[in-house]
Structures are given as structure tokens and as C-alpha cells.
Amino acid sequence: MKNRLTVAVLGGGSFGTAIANIIANNGHRTFLWMRDESVARECEQQRENHRYLPGVPLTAGLEVTADLAYAVSASDLIFVSIPSHSFRDVVQRIEPHLKAEAIVISTAKGIEPQGFTLMSQILEQELPHHRIGVLSGPNFAKEIVQHQQTGTVIASEDESVIQCVQKTLRSETFRVYANRDRYGVELGGALKNIYAIICGMAAALGAGQNTQAMLLTRSLAEMGRLASSLGADPMTFLGLAGVGDLILTCTSHLSRNYRVGYQLGQGKSLDEVVNGLGQVAEGINTLRQVKQKADELKVYMPLVSGLHGVLFENQQIADVARGLMLGENNFDVEYIGRNI
């Protein structure tokens, strides 16, 4: 890998802006692409992303642009930080402009409904001749830009991708760990959003620490069970992209999905909560897809089923909670051949 790369970060949300800042600060030529030309021009001129990271100056040398071809055509490394519902469209648009040797990394934590497709699988389908990877972990952008010590995970089957991303992103406060289970790392990032809604709802209803500990642990069990049935390594969920991201997202008001659950627990309607959020809460869409996939594969996911019942089947929270507690007794930890 060359010492100085040209890097494009696609998506002007909080996380895309945060990692673009790190990359530019590490001395690489860096583009931050935003879809809206007027917003991109304002961020470039004022050197700040007012909407997502107000008060945080953009690193000198970071160029904000709305010209997608310009951002990617010279780039050695591209991070796609686009919400899952727009991910495929943006990837299709960049394909004609990519350098042959360009590496493309997904940072999106969601699932495309058609075919239960993960973002890196979209990269495989749309960019079959490019090296790809996934970046995921317990990474609140607001803390990254405050230089809080943070760990993340780069997952790829290609060692050159892992090394490139580690060298490009590492800093005194941002550490990048390696994993070759791309599917498991990506599933962890998508699935935990569902359980953040559940934990936020429980907190609003006055759940104590015993309850929250139980919810976190059973959530991890469900995540590992589905991932294993889909061919991922359940041990991946013991790392940063699994239990690390789960703990972060399920215990903090900085999490959009936790805030959704908290407001639902306060009695607000789903439409009211989503309309007032102002940002994408991936957990709502992911819940529908995971419930369908779990039913199809006959994977036991009682928390997913319970939340789906509350949000989409007019079930009462109290009735769902009672059913979960009085359900069939099962084993605490599963290794082979047992339901949890």
C-alpha cells in the first residue's frame, strides 16, 4: 500500500464525517461526498457539518463535494456510509468511475429487504471485480470526534483489505481490529439495532438492572443463533462487532434505536416517533426482515417476535413480557444442538 492514499467517504452523516476527519488528519487526500449540493457547499465553506456534528471543525485537507464521480474516480479506498435503503443505488452509480484496484468498504448497518441482502453482499453483486470489506463496531461518531478511545473492526477475507484499512484509519484514539468473518461482523451491526429498541422501551417502562442484564444477554443469544443458521461464526459475537456494539447501542441515549424504543415505551406511536427522529433508525426496517427470516429458517427468536408483535400486530407490551417470562424453560448457553 502506498503511504499516502486518496480516499472517498460517501455519505455526510455523523459516522461518515467522523471517519473522514480521521483519514484526512492521518495525511491522506480525502473526499467527503454528500448528495445535496447546497449542503456540501455549506459544509465546505464553513468547515463544519452543522446538521450531524455541530461544533466539530472539519480537518484541514478534507474536501466536501457533491460530485460523486469526482470523489471516487481517483480514490484508492472508498467507504460507503449510506443508509441501507439507498446503498445499492449509490454503489451502482460509482461502479463506472472506480479505479480497477480500488477497495470498497461498507460501514452501513442494515439489511436490504429483497433476499435478506447485507450491504457487503450488494458490493459483491454490483462490484464483483473489486476487493471489499465491512467496518463495524461500537462507534458513536460524537465520541470519535471528541477523541474518546474507540475500537472498531474491519472484516474481509482479503488480508490486503484489512491491512489497508487498519493503516488508513488507525490513530491514537481509534484502533482497528481484524476479523475474517465478514458475514458475522455485518450481521452483528445490523441485528443489534433491534435489541436497542427493546432495551430503550424497557428503560422507559422502569425496568431495573436485572431486567436490562437479562435482555442484553438473551439478545446476544438470539443474534448468535440466527447468525449461525446463516453460516456466520457465532464466536464473532463475543467481539467488538457483536457484544461490544450491542452493549453500546442498548444502553445509551446517543443511540437512535434506543431513543426510538424509549419513546415507544413512553406511549408514543411508531409513526410519531419515526417522524420526529430526523434520522434513519435502521432497527425498525431490520425487525421486519429478521422476523421473516427467523420464521423461514425456524430460528427461535422470542425477543424479535415479541417486539414485532408490539409494533406491527397490536399486541400489548405487558402481555408480550408476560409471555416471554412464562415461556418454555431453556438452556442458558448453547454450543451444539440446544435452543437457548
Domains of the chain, earliest start first: 6-180 (3.40.50.720), 192-325 (1.10.1040.10)
- Tell me: the pLDDT tens digits for 60-116? 999 999 999 999 999 999 999 999 999 999 999 999 999 999 999 999 999 998 899
The burial class, CB within 10 Å (0-12 / 13-18 / 19+), for 143 is middle
Which amino acid type is present at position 105?
A: I
Task: Examine the pLDDT at 337 and tell me if it is beyond 60.
Answer: no
- Tell me: the pLDDT tens digits for 198-256? 999 999 999 999 999 999 999 999 999 999 999 999 899 999 999 999 999 999 999 99
Residue 48: what are its φ and ψ, rounded to 5°?
-160, 140
- Tell me: the pLDDT tens digits for 171-185? 999 999 999 999 999
**What pLDDT is stored for residue 280 in this prediction?**
61
Q: How far apart are CA 274 and CA 236, in angstroms?
A: 31
Task: Examine the pLDDT at 5 and tell me if it is beyond 90.
Answer: yes
- Tell me: the pLDDT tens digits for 10-38? 999 999 999 999 999 999 999 999 999 99
Mean pLDDT calculated for residue range 37-41: 97
Q: Position of cell 465553506?
A: 45
Active site residue 192: yes
Binned at pLDDT 50, 70 and 90, residue 326 comes out as confident
Binned at pLDDT 50, 70 and 90, residue 1 comes out as very low
Catalytic residue of the set 192, 268, 291, 293: 192
Judge whether 233 and 184 are in contact, CB under 8 Å. yes
SS3 268: coil
**What pLDDT is stored for residue 133 in this prediction?**
98
Q: How far apart are CA 79 and CA 319, in angstroms?
A: 43
pTM for this predicted structure: 0.92
Task: Examine the pLDDT at 311 and tell me if it is beyond 50.
Answer: yes
Q: In DSSP terms, which residues pair with 7 in a beta bridge?
A: 30, 77
